[in-house]
Chain A
């Protein structure tokens, strides 16, 4: 832990030294002492460098060089690989190139060997396969055991998992087992030369981003949601390999017994839509959503909402965009009466074209949008619908007028 070191020099007015601390954490009884009130703000170091010195971590520094590789956990259902895995592989590849590390994929399941080859096409250097009948269903203990074994054997510097229901269960459990750090739902990832992972995510419930790192622990864990990063291109020539891992060190013990699996109907979610119209709290009452649906119909779009509307029960929770909803990356996204809170923006900022309709010139969404329309949505949306319909019916506007 970092601490403040005190050099005991003679001062005429000890009171003036104590008063540099806004938390009253500097005591004087013939010698200066830092008390429990210290918040590590380091103001004292700034004001009186002659007396106070900031000393970094006394904890043993880990040897970062002995941890190599960026590993991606392969999210799948009965061998069918979830696309978030490929997005993470793409990100892992670009980071690995910077620090000259290999990219690994960890594939845990049953009867998945064949599928592992698929991953090589995306530039993975080595796929580690844990294939066993007792890994057929996702059960937390054996899956954590497989991850533990992989990490112990290969010592990766970074482990990435999708922010899905599985990743959000497996990542914290594995990270806790290694007593290491995990940052959930990162929206930006990068890597430093010293292999420290830059993890950036919205934080503190405000409109602010936090840049988080894990300076003294390995591996570094992060989860990222589906559709935050781009799917990578397949590479022309792959030189990667598939390694079947030994399983004799795994006990497969589990207190969980999966009794039955019911496949969910594959409904087309807002994640898959090419055009999305988003309703925010600028919509005053539930029945006014009608005009948003109308516009969506004309544009063959899906309708999504911000969190307050979902909480008011105006739409199905699966229609929520944002940090605690879904992430979308459509070709076109039109927001109607959405302020653009950071938690919302985290779920849509990668849309190709963003058009925002908002009556308030200072709404943060206008900084995110490619085209920001300042105006009343109650005028613009019905007007636009009318215009689209009129043009479809009568041709070019010149003919109508």
Chain B
């Protein structure tokens, strides 16, 4: 059995941590890191491996630095990795990103299971997984809460739906996007770090792909375009109260009364 997990490197500062005592924001200074939601996908694959034996590959699309997240997967126990990287992939939207990843996975050979995180902390679209499944021509189940059973030909999972939790069986090959909390992700191990230090991370670029039509990749292959970026609008009719102390409390109290909330 083969499992491929898609992981992405994201800016390290979008996530914040609080020091319980001082209430101060802890920033660890790292510039980029593994998308935290992808750790759950990695752990899910590791659990599958432990339960039934499987060969695990972590893949990512991004600049050469994104090798770091593949390396991290090695330190957690992954067997193989691959980075899909080419300047021609730059500027990809959801469609181009999923297509690029799908071509890379095809290159490696379609596995039994592809796992994605629920979403990324920088893009936050939760869309790459389902679009990738479409390009791979395999079924997908999004928002997987837990894995109930794995057979030779299929996997039974619980999926989160708007008003219900559904138990569903899906045949291989398939793609699953897993929710946060499906398993507690393990920490990278020092032993594995040492053991995999020399392990190669192959890079695949457009020249390695079956479809080398540049118009399907990067900016060219992205139907959506950013017209402009702008700061959000301010609320036009707003008041600022700076009276301080008791006056402020009285004013707030009176306002709440006036609005009939107390």
Residues of A bordering B, CB below 8 Å: 1, 36, 40, 59, 75, 77, 80, 82, 137-141, 144, 164-166, 168-173, 175-177, 179-185, 198-199, 202-205, 207-217, 254-264, 266, 275, 281, 283-286, 298-299, 307-309, 311-312, 317, 323-324, 331-332, 342-343, 345, 349, 353-355, 361, 366-375, 379-380, 383-384, 387-388, 391-392, 397
Contacts and interface: CB of A to CB of B under 8 A. Distances in A.
A212 B224 contact: yes
A310 B180 CA distance: 13
A264 B256 contact: no
Q: Which of B11, B180, B223, B261 has the most chain A CB within a 10 Å cutoff?
A: B223
B168 A323 contact: no
B143 interface: yes
Interface in B191-247: 215, 219-220, 222-232, 234-235, 237-242, 244-246
A370 B235 contact: yes
Nearest to B125: A184
Nearest to B220: A1
Given A138-B161, A259-B156, A283-B23, 17 more contacts: A1-B215, A168-B126, A170-B130, A175-B94, A180-B95, A181-B223, A204-B229, A207-B232, A211-B226, A256-B141, A256-B171, A264-B163, A264-B165, A284-B23, A317-B180, A323-B124, A380-B248
Q: Which of A169, A179, A308, A355 has the most chain B CB within a 10 Å cutoff?
A: A169
Given A256-B169, A285-B21, A312-B17, A176 B135 contact: yes
A58 to B, nearest CB: 10
A261 B164 contact: yes
Contacts of B22: 284
B186 interface: no
B227 A211 contact: yes
A215 B258 CA distance: 49
A308 B94 contact: no
13 contacts: A172-B130, A177-B134, A181-B93, A209-B230, A210-B228, A212-B227, A264-B164, A275-B261, A311-B17, A369-B235, A372-B241, A379-B245, A380-B252
A261 B238 contact: no
Contact of B250 (A185, A255, A331, A397): A397
A25 B162 CA distance: 50
A36 B87 contact: yes
Contacts of B126: 168, 184
B187 interface: no
B249 A383 contact: yes
Contacts of B170: 255-257
Nearest to A352: B259
A371 B16 contact: no
A380 B125 contact: no
Interface in B162-178: 162-171, 174
A299 B250 CA distance: 16
4 shortest A-B CB distances, which residue pairs?
A181-B223, A284-B23, A181-B224, A172-B127
Q: Which of B162, B171, B226 has the most chain A CB within a 10 Å cutoff?
A: B162
Interface in B150-164: 156, 160-164
B240 A366 contact: yes
Interface residues of B, number: 87
Contacts of B106: none
Nearest to A262: B165
B79 interface: no
Nearest to B180: A317
- A contacts with B: majority SS: mixed
Nearest to A260: B167
B164 A77 contact: yes
A261 B240 contact: no
Contact of A373 (B99, B163, B241, B259): B241
B161 A173 contact: no
B131 A254 contact: no
Given A176-B134, A256-B141, A181 B238 contact: no
B255 interface: yes
Interface string B84-125: 000100000111001100000000000000000001011011
Contacts of A349: 235
Nearest to A222: B224
B46 interface: no
Nearest to B257: A391
Contact of B224 (A213, A264, A275, A311): A213
B215 A353 contact: no
A317 B37 CA distance: 14
A260 B159 CA distance: 11
A322 to B, nearest CB: 10
Contacts of B174: 255
Nearest to B244: A375
Contacts of B227: 198, 211-213
Contacts of A370: 235, 237-239
Contacts of B16: 281, 307-308, 311
B134 A371 contact: no
B192 to A, nearest CB: 27
